[in-house]
Amino acid sequence: MGKTYEGGVPLADVVRSGFVEGFHRGSVVVLDVAGAPVAGAGDPTSPIFPRSSNKPMQAIGMLRAGLSLTDRADVALVSASHAGEEFHVERVTALLRGAGLTEEALHCPPDLPVGEAAREAVLRAGGGPRRIQMNCSGKHTGMLLTCLAAGWPVNGYWRPEHPLQQRLTATIEEFTGERAAAVGVDGCGAPVLAVSLTGLARAFLRLVSAEPGTVERTVADAMRAFPELVGGTQADDTRLMRGVPGLLAKIGAEGVIAAAVPGVGAVALKIDDGAGRARMPVLVSALRRLGVEAPVLTEYAEVPLLGGGLPVGAVRPVW
């Protein structure tokens, strides 16, 4: 496998009642508009699993392989880690139905929605886990539809040796500029490829810098036009894309996020312990190094800690 991830450095501390009770370590890279590193910490050049932050590149690969979606909103959904809200489930259902498929064709496991409100609504209604509610069901639906369009077998579409996955691997390697250091099984059952944070940031910069009409620009534009389909009504990457003009962002599991702003630069980071609470404050610190400012960044600059139901501290960036 070659070089392995060495782990990061303290990027955020946890302050309670004025006392530092812990740290979140990780790695981060900041690229300028030309793709050159201008800041970083930890180990941003060794491979990590970006998890769902790879989805925009996978969507590009699907479209190149023949996936045809007439509504840009569906392009956003194929790139999504959706919250399982009703409008997400309805749109995935419509895509499957249009291809003559049911949710049983999906390989992603049955799950409750990841969105808290959507999950509570399902449970109140007496529902339970379903494949279509799983946050990667949009991506898996896109994979199924791509196989049908390309004439590839649907059976085993998630296996690394399948023609679809070979095509998606080549796309990720093209946009990151790196060979995948490892192939793993993501939480949804599809392959996940290991690349560096630098490669991930480079890929996002390429998406937002692409010429209009290209497939990569189509994906970036769809995600930015329909951010609520990419994450959910209250998802962090959704709120970022709503609040920062032109910004493209995608969260990945285990503390990963990548973001890029056209004409400005790109950022990718990983919190080593996978804690989502440290991800956004560090991202804000990184974006501000590129001169990006917006009210939503101020909201995310620190994450409050509660004591007795009242704010008593915060998770804040130290990098």
Query: What pLDDT does residue 274 have?
Result: 96
- Structure token pair of residue 98: 């249009």
pLDDT at 173: 98
CB 261 within 8 A of CB 246: yes
Q: Check residue 2 and give its pLDDT.
A: 54
What does the radius of gyration of the chain's CA atoms come to, in whole angstroms?
Answer: 19
- Determine the pLDDT at residue 1: 42
Which amino acid belongs to residue 217?
R
pTM for this entry: 0.96
Is 42:28 a contact under the CB 8 Å cutoff?
A: yes
- pLDDT score at 3: 82
The parts of the chain modelled with pLDDT lower than 50 are 1
